Amino acid sequence: MAHLGAVSLLVRDYDEAISFFVGTLGFALSEDADMGGGKRWVRVTPKGGQTSLLLAKATTDEQRAAIGNQAGGRVWLFLETDDLTRDHATWAGAGVRFRETPRHETYGKVVVFEDLYGNAWDLIEPARTGD
């Protein structure tokens, strides 16, 4: 059975992106391989997740212009958690920028946050049956 293995994310610098995703959000550094010529194969994965972010260093003007705007200003990625309240408090304390306060929707608790470049993400605690 197929699954989505990775999604690329344009970054300014590999190490600053690793610091944010691993150090601030608690993702695991799944892979960091030197490919020569300043290029690296860097994957970070939410703990317990299957799909990774492939951190892709922007090398052209067009790519650099897209950093922080990978979805044209819309929410781009949807990160599920088992405890939104915990993660919101931890990440807010670590300086993560939230665009709103947590809210309840039919599908669960949700709050929009930004990665270090300004891309919008939904942090979602899915509704449990009976909630």
36: DSSP letter = E
Pairing mode of beta strands 28-36, 6-11: unpaired
The pTM (predicted TM-score) of the whole model is: 0.93
For position 34, what pLDDT does the model report? 97
Strands 28-36 and 39-45: antiparallel
In Å, how far from its chain's centre is CA 41? 17
For the chain, give the percent of residues with pLDDT over 90.
94
Q: What is the mean pLDDT of residues 60-69?
A: 97
> Between residues 48 and 52, which one has the greater pLDDT?
52
Query: Tens of pLDDT along 77-90?
Result: 999 999 999 999 99
DSSP of 76-108, one letter per residue?
A: EEEEE-S-HHHHHHHHHHTT--BSS--EEETTE
Q: Is the pLDDT assigned to residue 129 strictly greater than 80? A: no
